[in-house]
């Protein structure tokens, strides 16, 4: 199965727990996609490198996830497209807007402690 997690407010809010979850899913022959956004209308190589460095700083190295996908604005529309394009079976996010866009595509988990209105 393919799972997706957001970085900001999800992986970085609970790094130890989310690292254990992602690593366990990967070890169980699943794929974990990290799908996150930038506050721009386009994604640069520098944006991707910055997100990769941030993941490494959180402890997410090789084997803890399958693929990093960095999206431009609008995040909800682009995240829903990435979910569909990558056959994501479950999404972990803290944005109610992102989850509304994805709810018809896969089950969604809202991290309530860090939710965005």
Residue 24 and residue 27: Cα distance in Å, rounded? Answer: 5
Q: What is the pLDDT of residue 102?
A: 97
Radius of gyration of the chain (CA): 13
3-state secondary structure 17-43: HHHHHHHHHHHCCCEEEEEEECCCCCC
What average pLDDT score do residues 50-55 get? 98
Mean pLDDT across the chain: 96
pTM: 0.95
Q: What is the pLDDT of residues 57-69, one digit of tens each?
A: 999 998 999 999 9
Q: What is the pLDDT of residue 50?
A: 98
Who's near 53: CB < 8 A, 6+ residues apart? Answer: none
Residue 10 and residue 115: Cα distance in Å, rounded? Answer: 9
Domain ranges for the chain: 2-114
2-114 domain in CATH 1.10.275.10?
A: no
More confident residue, 115 or 42: 42
């Amino acid at each position: 199965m393919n799972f997706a997690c957001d970085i900001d407010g999800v992986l970085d809010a609970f790094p130890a727990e989310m690292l254990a979850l992602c690593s366990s899913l990967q070890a169980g022959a699943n794929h974990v996609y990290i799908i996150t956004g930038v506050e721009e209308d386009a994604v640069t190589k520098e944006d991707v490198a910055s997100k990769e460095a941030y993941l490494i700083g959180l402890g997410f190295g090789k084997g803890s996830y399958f693929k990093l996908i960095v999206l431009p604005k609008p995040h909800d529309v682009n995240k829903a497209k990435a979910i569909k394009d990558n056959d994501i079976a479950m999404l972990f996010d803290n944005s109610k807007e992102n989850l509304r866009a994805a709810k018809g595509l896969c089950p969604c988990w809202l991290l309530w402690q860090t939710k965005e209105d």
